[in-house]
Amino acid sequence: MKPYHHVPIHECHEPLVPLPLPELAVVTPHPYVALGAPYGDRSPYWLRQTVVEALRRVQVALQAEQPGWRLQVFDAYRPIPVQQFMVDYTTQDLAHQQGLDWSQMAAAQQQALLETVYQFWALPSPDPKTPPPHSTGAAIDLTLMDAQGLPVAMGSPIDEVSARSHPDYFQAAAAEHSQFHVHRCLLRQLMTAAGFQQHPAEWWHFSNGDQLWAWLTTQQTGQFTVARYGCAESSLRSA
C-alpha cells in the first residue's frame, strides 16, 4: 500500500463530465485506446466536474502567460480494467527492453520488475478504499502545446519509467537542457495554483480531490484533508 491509501474517502458522487474539447487539446489517437485497452463505453476524456472546471482556469492562466499555448491532455479517466491492462503492458514492455521474457522470468525477477512499475503505475485495486487515482476521475496526465500546435519540450515522454520522469530531474541540468525544467515548472505552477497536486515522481500527473491529492495537501499544510472522490464506477452505480 502507498501512504496515501490510508486517507479516508468521503465520496461526494459528483458526476464525470467530458473535457471541453477543443478548448483543451488531446493526444490523438488516445495512446491506450490504440493499444487495445478495454474502455468499453467509457471515455478516457472524462473527469469529475469540479476537476474540469479547475482545468479551464488553468487554460485561461496559461494563455495569459503564453498566448496561444494550450494544455494537451494525454490521459484522464481510466477504468480499473484499463489500469490492469496498462500495468500488464508496461511490465511486459519493460521486460522486453531488458531482453527478458516475462513468462520465463523467476518469481523474484518478476517481483523486482513489478516494484519498478509500481513506482509509476498505481495498483489496479478493486478495493473501494484504495482506488487507483485515475479511476476516481480526479487525476490527469497532461503536457503543454505551443502556439504552433507543437508539444513543448519537457525532457522526457509521458509514461517513461525512468528517473527523468521526476518533476525536478532537470533542475541542475546543463544550459542546453534548462528549458525542460522551466517548462515543467510552468506546468506545475499553473496546475497547483488551480488546486491540483503533482505526483512526486511524474512531471505530467496531477490530481484534485483523490487520496493522493489529500495526502499531499495534508503534508504541505498540516491540515488533515480527506479525499472527496473514490472509484468513479462505484459512484456511478450508487448514484
Specify whether 202 is catalytic. yes
CA distance 126 to 148: 42
Nearest Cα to Cα of residue 167 among 180, 178, 150: 180
Residue 36: burial class (beta carbons within 10 Å; 0-12, 13-18, 19+): exposed
Nearest Cα to Cα of residue 70 among 78, 60, 79: 60
Catalytic-labelled residue, pool 11, 14, 23, 202: 202
Residue 120: burial class (beta carbons within 10 Å; 0-12, 13-18, 19+): middle
Q: What cell does 12 get? A: 461526494
The catalytic residue positions are 202
